């Protein structure tokens, strides 16, 4: 057992909440997640009211350009970031990422009000963020023992969803209050301060790294990338777990789009779709608690299969539901099912991947997940519109898409579990 792990007579969430290294990592990560989403809100505010211009009536073009600058690094640098993470201390990498992001954002008010400057800062902040994600995933096994991985990953997943919801919810009112009270530049200082606090929390994390700071000598990025791909090719358990996580995040991305129309069907305003996503986050919290208390006793059960079938059932039921509280309940059940996939699969990857390979593997995973998030966001809306136009009814079109997606999720879940069983029997 790792020295930073809790004593063996304590298990589940109780062990995690008494584990100081884990608490430092978890709270630091949660604050960074909130800051990431607040930064996203800040970008929209700056485009609208920050004095940046790109010709007359170009707001929409500016927003699109900023979103592209924010998204591209996730796809381009995801794998490369993992290679770098393996060469350095995970703790130092996490601290450096937060400090660099803080400096870049705090510098914004002092730079020229040129739109290209805003694009450059956005691109740089997003690029640095790509190094944070694999370093964080690789640090979890260093902060908890093997028996705590499932609970830790379930808790991280639920807090990530919570960070997204909180950040997107409080961003605009928080910036409005700060700007009114302390002036416009205070927005950037507030955000930079959040990243610095996150860095301070992670600095308090005490972990041992067997090759911490092995530095960047003899770096061969292409060989390292091939080594990571080769590892996934030969370790079918890890690669299959990554496929299941990719499917999970694809379905979540599709739900983000469909939730807008769903909200209008169950009595909410379409602009209040965040409440449905928040209910999914609550379900993930319950899922984390369930795995924390009973996960070890159920490690022989097909939890990911149950999770996929649960999500498929929820999507199918969404097609017929028109009741507000039933909708919230279904969304919470969706989040609970997602926890049954994310916790065990992320724990499996961390457990089966040697420390020297974790950065590469989590970099590739981060890349796959970013692509999995991007494609459904781009395709789900137009697909729903096309089906609705073909059948001549928005309601029927949405129902067909939900039923089809529910069926597809269930089938993919069963196929992934069947493949896992074949690997285990081999």
pLDDT digits (tens, 9 = 90+) for 360-419: 777 777 777 777 776 776 678 788 888 888 988 888 988 999 999 999 999 998 988 887
- Locus of tokens 């079918």: 236
pLDDT digits (tens, 9 = 90+) for 51-105: 676 654 445 567 667 777 887 887 777 667 777 777 788 899 999 999 999 999 9
pLDDT above 90: percentage of residues in the chain: 22
Residues 6+ apart with CB under 8 A from 405: 251, 254, 258, 315
Provide the pLDDT confidence category of residue 1 given band limits of 50, 70 and 90: very low
Contact assessment for residue 130 and residue 81, using Cβ atoms and an 8 Å cutoff: yes
Least confident of 23-37, 41-55, 209-223, 227-241: 209-223
- The SS3 assignment for 341 reads helix
Closest CA to 328 of 338, 318, 319, 337: 318
Helix-, strand-, coil-residue percentages of the chain, each rounded to 5: 85, 0, 15
């Amino acid at each position: 057992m790792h020295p930073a792990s809790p004593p063996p007579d304590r298990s589940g969430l109780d062990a995690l909440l008494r584990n100081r290294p884990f608490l430092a990592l978890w709270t630091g990560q949660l604050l960074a997640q909130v800051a990431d989403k607040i930064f996203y809100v800040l970008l929209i505010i700056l485009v609208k009211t920050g004095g940046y211009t790109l010709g007359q009536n170009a707001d929409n073009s500016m927003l699109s350009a900023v979103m592209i600058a924010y998204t591209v690094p996730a796809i381009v640098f995801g794998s490369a970031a993992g290679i770098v993470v393996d060469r350095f201390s995970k703790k130092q990498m996490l601290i450096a990422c937060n400090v660099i992001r803080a400096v870049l954002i705090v510098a914004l008010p002092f730079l020229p009000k040129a739109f290209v400057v805003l694009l450059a800062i956005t691109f740089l902040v997003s690029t640095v963020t790509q190094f944070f994600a694999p370093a964080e995933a690789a640090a979890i096994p260093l902060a908890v023992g093997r028996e705590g991985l499932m609970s830790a990953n379930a808790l991280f997943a639920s807090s990530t969803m919570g960070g997204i919801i909180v950040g997107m919810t409080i961003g605009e009112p928080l910036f409005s209050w700060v700007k009114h009270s302390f002036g416009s530049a205070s927005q950037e200082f507030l955000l930079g301060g959040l990243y610095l606090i996150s860095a301070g929390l992670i600095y308090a994390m005490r972990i041992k790294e067997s090759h911490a700071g092995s530095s960047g000598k003899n770096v061969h990025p292409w060989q390292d990338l091939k080594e990571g791909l080769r590892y996934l090719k030969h370790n079918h358990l890890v690669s299959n777990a990554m496929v299941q996580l990719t499917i999970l995040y694809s379905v979540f991305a599709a739900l983000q789009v469909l939730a807008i129309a769903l909200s209008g069907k169950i009595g909410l305003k379409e602009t209040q779709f965040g409440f449905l996503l928040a209910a999914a986050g609550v379900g993930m919290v319950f899922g984390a608690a369930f795995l924390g208390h009973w996960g070890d006793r159920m490690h022989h059960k097909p939890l990911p299969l149950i999770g996929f079938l649960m999500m498929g059932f929820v999507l199918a039921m969404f097609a017929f539901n028109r009741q507000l509280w039933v909708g919230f309940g279904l969304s919470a059940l969706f989040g609970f099912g997602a926890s049954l996939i994310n916790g065990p699969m992320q724990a499996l990857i961390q457990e089966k991947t040697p420390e020297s390979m974790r950065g590469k593997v989590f970099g590739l995973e981060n890349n796959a997940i970013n692509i999995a998030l991007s494609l459904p966001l781009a395709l789900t809306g137009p697909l729903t519109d096309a089906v609705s136009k073909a059948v001549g009814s928005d309601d029927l079109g949405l129902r067909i898409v939900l039923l089809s997606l529910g069926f597809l999720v269930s089938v993919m879940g069963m196929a992934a579990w069947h493949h896992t069983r074949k690997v285990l029997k081999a």
